[in-house]
Copies of this chain bind each other. A is one copy, B any other.
Amino acid sequence: MGQNATLKKISVQLDLSISTVSRALKNHPDISENTKRKVKELAALMEYEPNTYAINLRTNKSNVFGVIVPAISNMFYDSFISAVEEEARKNGYSLLILQSGDDPLQEAESLKLCKHSRVDGIFISVTPDTCSGELFIKYQQSGMPVIFFDKVQDSDMFDKICLADEEAATMAAHTIIKYNKKNILAIFGNPELSITKKRKEAFISVFEKGNKKVKPGIKFCNNSDEARQIVASAISGSSRPDHIFCMSDEILIGAMKALNHSDLSVPDDISVLAISNGFIPGLFKPEISYIETSGYELGKLAIKRMLENMESKTAPKSIILPSRFVEGGSL
């Protein structure tokens, strides 16, 4: 019976108007206590539930945020999404989660779906080759807040929630120098991404400014397996590195697979340092030392900013989450 209780059905039963029923249910002062009671009782009995579709149509809001990430199966994005979901829920919002699969076309498609679904705001970590620049601008201008996180678009028109890329990379470089490493292999992600550029620049500049004698070898890769191959060939080469730096968890995983398949021991033969979300480094023996960049914390910051935008639109902001060093035993 409760299947499709509507205001209308209640109003017919009680011989009231739809508007009176509507107001009674939301405690409008115009309605007498007596009427309110009757309406609420019947509504409960009929298991009335307001029709979200109708409310959305009327209010032109959905209380849904879109989240577009390269992949859901990824520790970093998981913890980000997890944080966003928690806070969103507390504030009455839900999440529409889409994967771009690092494919700019699918990213554009997901973006369109968000627009089409008329979400109230978008969180996005862009693909390396994103070609949706104008889309972002259009959505933003049409009043739908776009918040970039992690991998962001180079523009100051948008809110951007980033990890402290320079800081983390600088910290990493200093740590490596402190341990007196000479032959460093530093592996970074896709060179087109701003996150890669920032980390690489900061990392290199520490060495250029300081000890000029040490010049780290720089490599780029697009996924875990490419990282594995890079390390595998490096440690079997003539001048074996005495340290490996990994820009991300994904790269760390590949690097450790290569090391695990060799007979080198960490940290005696070769030391390792990563920038990481925190979970992966704890799985190895010894645990890998890392510079923490928490997806969870980033998520909290992102949703906070989004909720601010819901209140009132302010000038775009660039927020940076500081990082910290976590000692493992790999140095």
A residues engaging B (CB < 8 A)? 3, 49-54, 56-57, 60, 62, 64, 71-75, 78-79, 81-82, 85-86, 89, 94-99, 113, 115-118, 142, 253, 256-257, 260-261, 280, 282-287
Of the candidates B78, B94, B253, B256, which one forms a contact with A78 in the assembled complex, judged by CB atoms under 8 Å apart? B78
Across-interface contacts of A261 in B (CB, < 8 A):
285
CA distance A72 to B78 in the complex (A): 6
**Docked-complex contact A57 and B49, CB < 8 angstroms:** no
CA distance A85 to B101 in the complex (A): 11
Nearest residue (CB) in B for A94 is B96
Of the candidates B49, B62, B97, which one forms a contact with A97 in the assembled complex, judged by CB atoms under 8 Å apart? B97
**Docked-complex contact B117 and A94, CB < 8 angstroms:** yes
Nearest residue (CB) in B for A115 is B49
Across-interface contacts of A72 in B (CB, < 8 A):
72, 78, 81-82, 85
Of the candidates B53, B56, B57, B94, which one forms a contact with A113 in the assembled complex, judged by CB atoms under 8 Å apart? B94
Nearest residue (CB) in B for A112 is B49
CA distance A260 to B47 in the complex (A): 55
Across-interface contacts of A98 in B (CB, < 8 A):
85, 89, 94
CA distance A254 to B56 in the complex (A): 46
Could you show 26 A-B contacts with beta carbons less than 8 Å apart?
A49-B115, A49-B116, A50-B116, A51-B118, A52-B116, A52-B117, A53-B56, A53-B57, A54-B57, A56-B56, A56-B57, A72-B78, A72-B81, A72-B85, A78-B78, A81-B97, A82-B99, A85-B99, A86-B99, A94-B98, A96-B96, A253-B283, A260-B284, A260-B287, A280-B283, A283-B284
Across-interface contacts of A52 in B (CB, < 8 A):
116-118
Output the least CB separation between A139 and chain B (Å).
11
**Docked-complex contact B280 and A260, CB < 8 angstroms:** no
**Docked-complex contact B284 and A257, CB < 8 angstroms:** no
Output the least CB separation between A76 and chain B (Å).
10
Q: Given A95-B97, A96-B96, A284-B283: A60 and B71 within 8 A (CB)?
A: no
Of the candidates B60, B78, B113, B283, which one forms a contact with A73 in the assembled complex, judged by CB atoms under 8 Å apart? B78
CA distance A239 to B238 in the complex (A): 47
CA distance A3 to B89 in the complex (A): 28
14 other A-B residue contacts (CB within 8 Å) besides A72-B78, A94-B96: A49-B115, A49-B116, A51-B57, A53-B62, A72-B81, A74-B78, A78-B78, A82-B99, A85-B97, A85-B98, A94-B98, A97-B97, A260-B286, A260-B287
Output the least CB separation between A53 and chain B (Å).
4
CA distance A120 to B119 in the complex (A): 18
CA distance A89 to B285 in the complex (A): 40
Nearest residue (CB) in B for A78 is B73
CA distance A280 to B73 in the complex (A): 13
Nearest residue (CB) in B for A56 is B53
**Docked-complex contact B99 and A96, CB < 8 angstroms:** no
Across-interface contacts of A287 in B (CB, < 8 A):
260
Q: Given A78-B72, A97-B85, A98-B89: A142 and B54 within 8 A (CB)?
A: no
